[in-house]
């Protein structure tokens, strides 16, 4: 096999297996099978840098889905694909008509990693395979789902599959989207045997769905710092995007005295530095980030006359997130007044946080404790996931797997096989609890 190195590229089978403890292969869960499947997926859309390039609605994403279909069938699941391209594998329960679901996605960002998404899909399939290998049939039915277009890298509008299945997708919003080549979303759908009409038809009735559970890599360092393989997610932060624009007066960098300037960039710099201090005043899980700044006229020898920026504010608690947002707006106005310049502020996007109920957190915590024999660790999710959308229709839980150095959306993304298998055992315990009548 042509395999590349540890975590900085294609998932190396040998490296995964060297990190494997055989005692974790039990109760039908097989570490070597997980390693081989991670390896096989990593070959699809492999970049020159050793990353993953499985953009949504491409042949690479389709190839990955087809491989997942094969593994679902091997695990005894009946497989179908809905009108949004979501792949769903179903195991009929022994007695109850209720359903418990688990899964994630297989699309990636450009030159991304090999664990973000695939781990959640493979973990959900591995539980089904473990049940088949041990002749276990849950009381409730079990569905594994591979959501389409979670990352949204192609059209800058993600979570398409989960929005479609929950009936919360707006086809008119998608109709206007184009990719980097100028292709319309609707035309790309048709190339994939889908349509805006079929996406609407993907909406399912959730009256029989009792819960959805998603496994995902943490994409942070909390579990690594705690030396834990798996953690329990408390909630998924809701992002709020704020537009802040400082307006001063452009001028010549050489001829304008320092005491006679209304420099918008200086005000913006002070503002950005102050933002860093604000989140901890409101919530331990709150964050605020300025990641995009536009400076005008943006000349080497010109004092900035205008600076426009976007502030990304997140928290798992909506009230503290909103309070933080108000504090950010107030700080912008305060700095503008001190600097004798103008400022405008407005919210341009807001999505509510999704809390995991205390009951679901405790069920997940009990499952983690069984799997790793350690005190469960609770942490927030700062990133959005399909579980966030599914939470609008049913109870959700999430399990995070430790990420090395917190790296994600990068070829160096890596989680050890032991941590992955520990997480599968935790997922299996949780699903068996949720699937019991």
- The pLDDT tens digits for 328-373 are 999 999 999 999 999 999 998 888 899 899 999 999 999 999 999 9
Tens of pLDDT, residue by residue over 18-73, are 766 788 999 999 999 999 999 999 999 999 988 999 999 999 999 999 999 999 99
- Domains of the chain: which residue ranges? 13-237+353-434, 238-350
Q: How confident is the model at residue 171 (pLDDT cuts 50, 70, 90)?
A: confident
For residue 125, report the phi and psi dihedrals to the nearest 5 degrees: -70, -40
Residue 383 has pLDDT above 80, yes or no: yes
pLDDT at 2 (0 to 100): 38
Q: For residue 74, count other CB atoms closer than 10 A to its CB.
A: 13
pLDDT at 71 (0 to 100): 98
Cα–Cα dist 364/432, whole Å: 11
Pairing mode of beta strands 141-147, 99-105: parallel
Helix (H, G, I), strand (E, B) or coil at 195: coil
Tens of pLDDT, residue by residue over 124-168, are 999 999 999 999 999 999 999 999 999 988 988 889 999 999 999
Cα–Cα dist 304/435, whole Å: 60
Q: According to the annotation, is 116 in a ligand binding site?
A: yes
Report the mean per-residue pLDDT for the chain: 93
3-state helix, strand, coil in the chain (%, to 5): 35, 25, 40
Mean per-residue pLDDT for 316-333?
A: 96
Q: According to the annotation, is 26 in a ligand binding site?
A: no
Helix (H, G, I), strand (E, B) or coil at 293: strand
What's the pTM?
Answer: 0.85
Pick the CATH number of 13-237+353-434 from 3.40.50.150, 3.30.70.3270, 3.40.1410.10, 3.40.630.10: 3.40.630.10
CATH number for the domain whose boundaries are 238-350: 3.30.70.360
Helix (H, G, I), strand (E, B) or coil at 106: coil
Q: According to the annotation, is 151 in a ligand binding site?
A: yes
pLDDT at 7 (0 to 100): 42
pLDDT at 25 (0 to 100): 92
Tokens of 419: 């941590």
């Amino acid at each position: 096999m042509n395999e590349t190195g540890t975590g900085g590229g294609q998932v190396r089978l040998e490296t995964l297996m060297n990190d494997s403890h055989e005692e974790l292969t039990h109760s039908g869960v097989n570490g070597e099978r997980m390693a081989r499947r991670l390896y096989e997926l990593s070959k699809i859309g492999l970049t020159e840098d050793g990353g993953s390039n499985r953009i949504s609605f491409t042949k690479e994403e389709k190839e990955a889905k087809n491989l997942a279909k094969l593994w679902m069938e091997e695990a005894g699941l009946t497989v179908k694909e809905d009108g949004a391209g979501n792949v769903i594998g179903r195991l009929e329960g022994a007695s109850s008509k209720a359903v418990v679901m688990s899964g994630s996605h297989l699309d990636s960002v450009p030159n991304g990693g090999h664990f973000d998404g695939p781990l959640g899909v493979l973990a959900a399939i591995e539980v089904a395979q473990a049940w088949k290998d041990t002749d276990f049939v849950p009381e409730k039915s079990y569905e594994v789902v591979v959501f389409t277009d979670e990352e949204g890298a192609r059209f800058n509008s993600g979570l398409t599959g989960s929005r479609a299945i929950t009936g919360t997708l707006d086809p008119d919003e998608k109709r206007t989207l184009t990719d980097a080549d100028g292709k319309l979303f609707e035309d790309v759908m048709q190339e994939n045997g889908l349509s805006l009409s079929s996406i609407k038809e993907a909406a399912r009735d959730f009256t029989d769905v009792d819960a959805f559970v998603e496994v995902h890599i943490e994409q942070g360092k909390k579990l690594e710092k705690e030396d834990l393989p798996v953690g329990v997610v408390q909630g998924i932060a809701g992002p709020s995007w704020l537009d802040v624009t400082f307006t001063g007066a452009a001028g010549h960098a050489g001829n304008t005295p320092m005491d006679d300037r209304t420099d918008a960039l200086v005000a913006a710099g002070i503002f950005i530095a102050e933002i860093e201090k604000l989140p901890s005043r409101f919530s331990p899980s709150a964050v605020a980030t300025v990641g995009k700044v536009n400076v005008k006229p943006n000349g080497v020898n010109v004092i900035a006359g205008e600076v426009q920026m976007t502030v990304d504010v997140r928290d798992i608690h909506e009230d503290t997130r909103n309070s933080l947002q108000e504090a950010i707006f107030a700080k912008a106005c305060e700095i503008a007044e001190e600097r004798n310049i103008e400022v405008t502020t407005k919210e341009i996007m807001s999505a509510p946080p999704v809390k995991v109920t205390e009951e679901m957190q405790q069920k997940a915590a009990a499952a983690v404790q069984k799997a790793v024999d350690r005190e469960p660790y609770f942490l927030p999710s700062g990133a959005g996931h399909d579980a966030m959308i599914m939470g609008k229709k049913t109870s959700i839980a999430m399990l995070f797997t430790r990420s090395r150095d917190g790296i994600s959306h990068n070829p160096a993304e890596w989680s050890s096989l032991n941590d992955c298998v520990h997480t599968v055992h935790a997922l299996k315990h949780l699903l068996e609890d949720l699937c019991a009548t």
